[in-house]
């Protein structure tokens, strides 16, 4: 089945979709090969969009009941640091250096006073080690100087910290402080557009457009659901549509292989390794 959504992957008018799904599991991840029948598009009301978006989130929640951040951390400072370090590398690599890093520098004060060459050596396996070391030194110094050595729990304070953008701030708020936040990374933005939830490409606009479709309390888990699905099934290239549990509600069904056997081979059972 071809892509019915046009070049942006988003059907402008919105649509109603139907198609039988068959539940199953692939490598511990629930997957469902679909013989999906996508009817001709009809206008989707705002209420319909909200219902469909929430249905997709519910099904993704059932698909990934353990969805959470894939970065290891013990406290807000660790999560802030590992999130900054995760740029341009994998969570797995960051998790591997974490024990050494925080054994040497357990808090902002210790990290701010770190010997640059030693810190560069620890974060070296992550790539961009000079820039990352610089970020950690500046970030830790700002926490000590401006926040008494604590990680602030407000978005407006977090985004003023060196090297901390809105995405990182929302990760920290949602996962270390339990304050709902939407994390718009590359996966979240791509899936939100494929789902027809928004056509925006600017992350802040995506955050606001998608946030308006959901209860605030659901924002953090919603972020995990989309990111997990993007990493495992709905890849940038060749999404595994034939093994997708939310194919029934996705206007972009058909962007990737719909044959269940072909699609199953595309499913990754771990995050970005
Ligand atoms: S894998 Fe295919 S059907 Fe599933 S969400 Fe992505 S584009 Fe839609």
Q: Which of 11-15, 65-69, 171-175, 210-214 has the lowest mean pLDDT?
A: 11-15
pTM for the complete prediction?
0.82
16 against 98, higher pLDDT: 98
pLDDT tens by residue, 227-251: 999 999 999 999 999 999 999 999 9
Cβ atoms within 10 Å, residue 36: 21
Indicate if ligand 1 lies below 6 Å from the C-beta of 197: no
Which of 57, 188, 233, 268 for mutating ligand 1's site (highest number of atoms within 8 Å of CB)? 233
Closest C-alpha to 229, from 207, 252, 208, 211 = 252
Find the largest Cα–Cα distance for the chain: 63
Cβ contact 94:85 at 8 Å: yes
Indicate if ligand 1 lies below 6 Å from the C-beta of 253: yes
Indicate if ligand 1 lies below 6 Å from the C-beta of 190: no
Would you state the pLDDT for residue 28?
Answer: 38
């Amino acid at each position: 089945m071809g892509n019915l959504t046009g070049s942006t992957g988003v059907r402008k008018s919105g649509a109603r979709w139907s198609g039988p799904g068959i539940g199953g599991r692939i490598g511990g991840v629930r997957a469902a090969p679909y013989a999906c029948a996508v009817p001709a598009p009809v206008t989707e009301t705002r209420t319909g969009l909200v219902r469909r978006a929430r249905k997709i989130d519910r099904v993704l929640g059932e698909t990934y009941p353990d969805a959470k951040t894939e970065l290891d951390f013990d406290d807000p400072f660790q999560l802030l640091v590992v999130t900054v370090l995760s740029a341009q590398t994998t969570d797995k690599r960051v998790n591997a250096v974490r024990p050494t890093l925080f054994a040497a520098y357990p808090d902002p004060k210790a990290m701010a006073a770190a010997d640059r060459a030693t810190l560069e050596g620890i974060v070296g396996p992550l790539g961009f080690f000079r820039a990352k070391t610089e970020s950690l030194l500046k970030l830790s110094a700002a926490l000590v100087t401006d926040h008494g050595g604590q990680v602030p729990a407000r978005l407006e304070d977090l985004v003023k910290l060196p090297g901390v953008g809105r995405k990182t701030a929302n990760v920290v708020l949602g996962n270390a402080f339990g304050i709902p936040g939407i994390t718009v990374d590359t996966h979240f933005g791509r899936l939100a557009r494929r789902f027809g939830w928004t056509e925006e490409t600017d992350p802040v606009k995506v955050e606001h457009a998608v946030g308006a479709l959901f209860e605030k309390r659901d924002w953090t888990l919603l972020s995990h659901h989309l990111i997990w699905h993007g990493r495992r099934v709905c890849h940038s290239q060749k999404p595994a549509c034939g093994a997708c549990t939310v194919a029934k509600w996705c206007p972009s069904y058909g962007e990737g292989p719909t044959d269940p056997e072909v699609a199953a081979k595309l499913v990754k059972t771990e995050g970005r390794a």
